[in-house]
């Protein structure tokens, strides 16, 4: 097996996992206009790029046919890739818009992390009101 074959074999599951993560982000966490309101497109692209680079670049660097401990190396790389995906998903989740507030002459987005850690709890704005953000 060559490095190119290993790259291709790892590419398909990684792309499927990233598509599943994007579906969760787009359909469950940021439905409708919430995706554009939160402005997380670049964050999602960075998350996906990091996962592709970590998994595939490290695999092509480490891979050598007949190498002892190759399976352990691949498993460590897969664990790193999953950890990076988990951290990226957590960062995206924290940017999830909970409320869209009209302030003066514009709308401001209040993210999930701002409600939990900000002064919004005393206003009774604690939990996400539903699948999409709520206009307040």
**Residue 120 — pLDDT band, cuts 50, 70, 90?**
low
What pLDDT is recorded for position 92?
A: 92
**Could you give the residue ranges of the DSSP H alpha helices within the chain?**
3-23, 34-38, 41-52, 58-62, 70-94, 112-117
Q: Is the pLDDT of residue 132 over 60?
A: yes
What pLDDT is recorded for position 88?
A: 93
The whole-model pTM stands at 0.79
């Amino acid at each position: 097996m060559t490095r190119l074959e290993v790259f291709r074999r790892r590419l398909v599951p990684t792309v499927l996992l990233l598509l599943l993560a994007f579906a969760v982000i787009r359909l469950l966490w940021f439905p409708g206009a919430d995706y554009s309101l939160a402005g997380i497109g670049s964050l999602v692209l960075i998350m996906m790029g990091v996962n592709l680079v970590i998994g595939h670049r490290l695999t092509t660097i480490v891979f050598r046919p007949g190498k002892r401990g190759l399976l352990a190396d691949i498993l460590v790389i897969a664990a790193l890739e999953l950890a990076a995906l988990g951290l990226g998903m957590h960062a995206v989740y924290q940017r999830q818009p909970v409320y869209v507030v009209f302030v003066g002459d514009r709308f401001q987005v209040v993210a999930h992390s701002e409600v939990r850690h900000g002064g919004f709890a005393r206003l009774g704005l604690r939990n996400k009101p539903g699948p999409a953000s709520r206009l307040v």
